Structure 1
Amino acid sequence: MAAVEAILSMRRWTFTEFGSEQLITFVAMATQDDLNANAEFIRLADSFVEVPSGKNVNNYANVDLICRIAQEQQVDAVWPGWGHASENPKLPAKLKEIGITFIGPPSGVMAALGDKIAANILAQTASVPSIPWSGDGLTCQLTEEGTIPEEIFNKAMVTSAEEACERATKIGFPIMVKASEGGGGKGIRKATNMEELKVAYTNVFTEVPGSPIFLMRMVSKARHLEIQILGDEYGNTLALNGRDCSTQRRFQKIFEEGPPTIAKKEVFHEMERAAMRLTALVGYRGAGTVEYLYSPETHTFCFLELNPRLQVEHPVTESITGVNMPATQLQIAMGLPLYNIPDIRRFYGMDPTQNSPIDFFAVDYPPITSHCCASRITAENPDEGFKPTSGKINSVRFQSSGDCWGYFSVGLKGGIHEFADSQFGHIFAKGPNREAARKSLRFALMNLDISGEIRHPVDYLVDLIETKEYRENTIDTMWLDGLIASKAIAPSLGAMEVVFYAAVF
């Protein structure tokens, strides 16, 4: 998915700005599993290098392998996508040693922000409101290596189930046990009492071996809002509005939309400014996402984490801002200041042919007048607790239109293999307001057709997007898990017959 999106987006940028889509050459890594599955990114790339199959430690998360291939292919830069090695600080560090540009933040910044404990300490240092957690009140100055001082970092950790119980007395229940190096729904457990906390700690410790563990109060009736941030090597930083990703199943996002309509305008503005302060504090470079929990009842927000990479749902931001995110990442890596990037200047209502500096803390972008809703398409079986499935996909058909589009990681006669991520598609719908975008997305899902052996929850998504709670925007981050537990919406899928016309860009 990441490779498909990056190749299409960067080629679109070079064609739009320079009149040719061939100015960048893409070399992809591909496993035999991907080749057998007829993965779309292999077709789109100019060439590929076959790498060992199996788990991602053999291929896409293998830093030494990535760097060796980058040298052998004499590439100028490496784009890491999301997942795999995209948040491993060893990758930018090693690429720097061999003289190859990493399209993303520096190693030290990535290490500090990619670690959830360190990120929360830095957020507190930048005066960003935080959720009650095991590191309450800790602030710091980064070391010369760009890391959190060890003695401060250790104060935020919990190192045993017994210590977790002691800290929980002060933090309060319900509580989340989190692995600092976890992600994608792994290394996170909920506990409502001391006995559950002991079990949760053991599960997290086992699931993400070697990761530091911390505790954080679980905020009920909260929304998951995030701010898209950008930073360049000259200290400029800005926020490109944000997204509402509150529809989640076991902490995995299902629907995304933007701009967030649930937050008060003045509060959302402060959320952007807080994200920018954090970005500036650490000297962030590239694209990242600051995630918050927002309370509609009190109109307050708390820092959750900062993802030092591009998020899967970034096309929502592209839709409402007109900023091509992978192309912007590339231009930042090439050394352009943010105020020199044409898409950024257009978004701020300024002449894209000029290069006058912009103080992004002092200047606001014009009001956004559209809305975008998105849905992830996954190979999961809703009859078996949304268990990932694999197998052949004969065809994927999706009829795009002016207000609805999508992209997919599989082509004709392709498939999803056992080591692939379950998400193989993403659909986006745009309208003048949330309701128009919601209706457009529902219509698109109803007409999506996927034919093959895998199972998918598209029919389930169609029903979900039509619920009263989603229509009236009264959901929270636990809403979908509650529906599933109560079986309020029952999966109604037969043998998976669905399709799309991948009219992508």
Structure 2
Amino acid sequence: MRKFDTLLIANRGEIACRIIRTARDLGLRAVAVYSDADADALHVSMADEAHRIGPASAADSYLNVDAILAAAKASGAGAIHPGYGFLSENADFARAVERAGLVFVGPSAEAIEIMGDKAIAKAHMLDAGVPCVPGYQGDDQADATLLAHARNIGVPLMVKAAAGGGGKGMRLVSKLDDLPEALTLARAEASAAFGNDTLILERAVQNARHIEVQVFADHAGNTIALGERDCSVQRRHQKVIEEAPAPGMTQTLRKRMERAAIAAAQSVDYVGAGTVEFLLDENGEDFYFLEMNTRLQVEHPVTEMVTGLDLVALQITVAQGKPLPVSQEDVTLTGHAIEVRLYAEAPGNGFLPSIGKIYKFEMDNNIRIDTGVRSGDEVSPHYDPMLAKLIAHGDTRDEALRALTQALDNTAVLGVTTNLPFLRDLLDHAEVQNGTATTSFLDDTYPEGPPSPELKPQTVALAAALLLRSENAVAQAQSLLRDTSLAGFSSDGGLPIPLDLSLDGDLHKLTAAGVGTDHITVSGDGWSHTSSNDLRFDGHRTTAHHAPDGMGGLYLQAAGHHLHVTRAQPWATTDAAANGALTAPMPGLLVALNVAAGDTVKKGDTLAVLEAMKMQHQLTAAADGVVAALHVAAGQQLSKGALILTMEDPT
């Protein structure tokens, strides 16, 4: 190990920004890398210098080892921090960094290799005496072999990518008949995300809690635990809410889990920051090794908030060969911290990622915000759609929850659909409020997925009033109030005017009176609401965020909705789903077509599989029917809205 004064961050987004901040605090020069899609990204502007490493595709840029090492050489960097994701748990990358004479800010390649393969790691943990979930992690990957072991394990069981994490390549199987499809999908995701389609099987521990322990070790063999985090609220095995310490954790159980985590780390001579994840049985006593993440975790801020330690600073200290500046006796947990992950995705539409321009990005400054985006940035289809992490701390768990709730209420993201209303709704659920949520909480609460909130007349009226005021302001600025195309606008409000409003493409036929005055009254089918310039509706104050779209319309965030508001276009539109068509919900690679023309399908059957943002999305039948025609073939790259197949009534 040797000291270094320049650090290259081999990552992007919020984690790159977060590492740059600490590097600066430590007096280090920070070097960023970027793809063509990220040329104007926040992490690029924050760094002391930045180097292009390739086109938008992650495989050609953030996973391009040669390009990253070339950037390190050109910048004079003495060390590389991999962040999380991408190459952070790639043993070959760690070796390549060391061969290049640079310091890898992380554990040894050998430790990454052992813990990065779930099958090898599990066997290693069994030898070390760490409790593990019963399952199969053998070399024979034939479907028949996996099915035979699945029968012995019993259902429900988990199919997992041996080389993976982050929920990719994972499937819950409740019926053995579903295993073949789960194996196919898990292998495809694992191969795309990790270049390795080896799978393992594990008994699904029901009603469990996901508890993980943060460990840290230096080159002298000193290994400590920095408490635990509860990450039980998750969907598709991706965490949604994380907190520290775990609700209801006893000191006795904490010490047992910390000892197991330290033993796991020491068994591979671990160095740096790592997280040992466990499943805590519903009895609250038995726990099982899940995996070890040999990197900094996405949720590391909650540990920082309750320990007062900067984990990135500790990583850099250890990477320079210095001993840990804290001992186990120095570690104290103060207060409570809770984090939520803000994603560009549509919970009401199967959590499909959302891409496009962010017209407004406003965060509450009263809590910690880790982000890599800002107003005006584009959400790319090439990378994970996480926009930010919101982290609140309080003396008690209730205080932290209240602070986080208030922060979500004061957060605005306009232009792309996000999970913001979903997160806000989650914080009001009794299981979250009481700290009793298990890993099955989200599936149990939303078996069909989160419903879209009801669009109430007040929100429609608000959208109409805001659009009219925006148009009137533009007209006044351009001195076009006398233009016949703006008939109805006048300083005294004039007569009621018809207004055909489009909200995300849905037509609303309305009338509006008082346009151009301080009070606009919007009327629809059997309702009428009046708004003032200060957003009082029928005398009551309302909260809304809005921003112009640059084309005469606006984006509106209000009452749990994210809406694109425009005047309805004069041309007719067709509803593809209503007319029996399956279209691509987002840009992606069509990796599978599971039907042929003439096939009869049932509602819920998987018709096709679309790969986007490193995940496999199953496109299912909305109703019973017969496949009339296929319009594309597997292997094609599709744009959003591309016609995949058409259906006809089975009768």
Secondary structure at the aligned position of 2:93 is classed as helix
Secondary structure at the aligned position of 1:290 is classed as strand
2:295 corresponds to 1:309 = yes
2:163 corresponds to 1:181 = yes
Aligned length: 444
2:38 corresponds to 1:25 = no
State the 1:205 CA deviation: 2.3
Distance 2:330 2:143 in 1: 47
Secondary structure at the aligned position of 1:186 is classed as coil
- Select the structure of larger CA radius of gyration: 2
Q: Which residue number in structure 2 is paired with residue 374 of structure 1?
A: 339
Distance 2:87 2:417 in 1: 28
Match for 1:63 among 38, 62, 65? 65
State the 1:65 CA deviation: 1.7
Secondary structure at the aligned position of 1:95 is classed as helix
Q: Which residue number in structure 1 is paired with residue 371 of structure 2?
A: 408
Contact 2:336 2:396 survives alignment (8 Å)? yes
Alignment of 1:164-313 (within 5 A): 164-209=146-191, 210-313=196-299
Secondary structure at the aligned position of 1:284 is classed as coil
Distance 1:300 1:330 in 2: 35
Secondary structure at the aligned position of 1:282 is classed as coil
Alpha-carbon spacing, 1:29–1:369, altered in 2? closer, same or farther (3 Å): closer
Q: Which residue number in structure 2 is paired with residue 143 of structure 1?
A: none
State the 1:126 CA deviation: 2.0
State the 1:405 CA deviation: 1.7
Instruction: Give, as a single letter, the amino acid of the residue that structure 2 aligns with 1:228.
Output: Q
2:101 corresponds to 1:88 = no
Instruction: Give, as a single letter, the amino acid of the residue that structure 1 aligns with 2:295.
Output: R
Contact 1:161 1:197 survives alignment (8 Å)? no
Match for 2:435 among 473, 479, 483? 473
Distance 2:92 2:557 in 1: 41
Instruction: Give, as a single letter, the amino acid of the residue that structure 2 aligns with 1:46.
Output: D
Distance 2:454 2:60 in 1: 38
Contact 2:84 2:297 survives alignment (8 Å)? yes
State the 1:475 CA deviation: 1.3
Q: Which residue number in structure 2 is paired with residue 351 of structure 1?
A: none
Distance 1:157 1:497 in 2: 53
Contact 2:119 2:162 survives alignment (8 Å)? yes
Contact 2:81 2:104 survives alignment (8 Å)? yes
Greater strand fraction, Structure 1 or Structure 2 = 2
Q: Which residue number in structure 1 is paired with residue 416 of structure 2?
A: 454
Q: Which residue number in structure 1 is paired with residue 638 of structure 2?
A: none
State the 1:488 CA deviation: 6.5
Instruction: Give, as a single letter, the amino acid of the residue that structure 1 aligns with 2:171.
Output: R
Contact 1:162 1:198 survives alignment (8 Å)? no
Distance 1:205 1:252 in 2: 18
Contact 1:157 1:213 survives alignment (8 Å)? no
Q: Which moved more, 1:385-394 or 1:166-175?
A: 166-175
Distance 1:433 1:159 in 2: 48
Q: Which residue number in structure 1 is paired with residue 19 of structure 2?
A: 6
Q: Which residue number in structure 2 is paired with residue 107 of structure 1?
A: 109
Distance 2:334 2:71 in 1: 45
Alpha-carbon spacing, 1:377–1:4, altered in 2? closer, same or farther (3 Å): same
Contact 1:372 1:431 survives alignment (8 Å)? yes
RMSD: 1.9
Distance 1:422 1:447 in 2: 21
Question: What runs of 5+ residues in structure 1 fail to find an aligned partner?
Answer: 15-22, 136-155, 345-357, 500-505
Distance 1:364 1:48 in 2: 38
In the superposition, the TM-score normalised over structure 2's length comes to: 0.66
| Percent of residue pairs bearing the same amino acid type | 34
State the 1:47 CA deviation: 0.8
Instruction: Give, as a single letter, the amino acid of the residue that structure 1 aligns with 2:35.
Output: T
Contact 2:107 2:270 survives alignment (8 Å)? yes
Q: Which residue number in structure 2 is paired with residue 419 of structure 1?
A: 382
State the 1:64 CA deviation: 1.9
Distance 2:454 2:224 in 1: 44
Q: Deviations over 1:322-341 (max 9, x none)?
A: 11011110000000111xx2
Alpha-carbon spacing, 1:73–1:296, altered in 2? closer, same or farther (3 Å): same
Q: Deviations over 1:380-425 (max 9, x none)?
A: 0123111111111122112222xx2212111232121121321011
Q: Which residue number in structure 1 is paired with residue 597 of structure 2?
A: none
Distance 1:492 1:371 in 2: 34
Work out which structure has the larger RCO, using CA pairs closer than 8 Å and 6 or more positions apart in sequence: 1
Distance 2:275 2:449 in 1: 33
State the 1:486 CA deviation: 4.3
Instruction: Give, as a single letter, the amino acid of the residue that structure 2 aligns with 1:319.
Output: M
Distance 1:322 1:296 in 2: 31
Greater helix fraction, Structure 1 or Structure 2 = 1
Match for 1:77 among 79, 83, 89? 79
State the 1:211 CA deviation: 2.5
Q: Which moved more, 1:467-476 or 1:421-430?
A: 467-476
Contact 1:483 1:489 survives alignment (8 Å)? no
Secondary structure at the aligned position of 1:208 is classed as helix
State the 1:68 CA deviation: 2.0
Secondary structure at the aligned position of 2:318 is classed as helix
Contact 2:157 2:203 survives alignment (8 Å)? yes
State the 1:300 CA deviation: 1.3
Q: Which residue number in structure 2 is paired with residue 146 of structure 1?
A: none
Question: What runs of 5+ residues in structure 2 fail to find an aligned partner?
Answer: 1-13, 456-502, 505-554, 559-651
Contact 2:215 2:275 survives alignment (8 Å)? yes
Match for 1:429 among 371, 381, 392? 392
Contact 1:262 1:296 survives alignment (8 Å)? no
In the superposition, the TM-score normalised over structure 1's length comes to: 0.84
2:358 corresponds to 1:393 = yes
Secondary structure at the aligned position of 2:50 is classed as strand
Match for 1:464 among 417, 422, 426? 426
State the 1:158 CA deviation: 4.4
State the 1:492 CA deviation: 6.1
Distance 1:445 1:492 in 2: 20
Contact 1:131 1:303 survives alignment (8 Å)? yes
Secondary structure at the aligned position of 1:128 is classed as coil
Distance 2:226 2:334 in 1: 14
Distance 2:222 2:62 in 1: 31
Instruction: Give, as a single letter, the amino acid of the residue that structure 2 aligns with 1:316.
Output: V
Instruction: Give, as a single letter, the amino acid of the residue that structure 2 aligns with 1:481.
Output: D
State the 1:43 CA deviation: 1.2
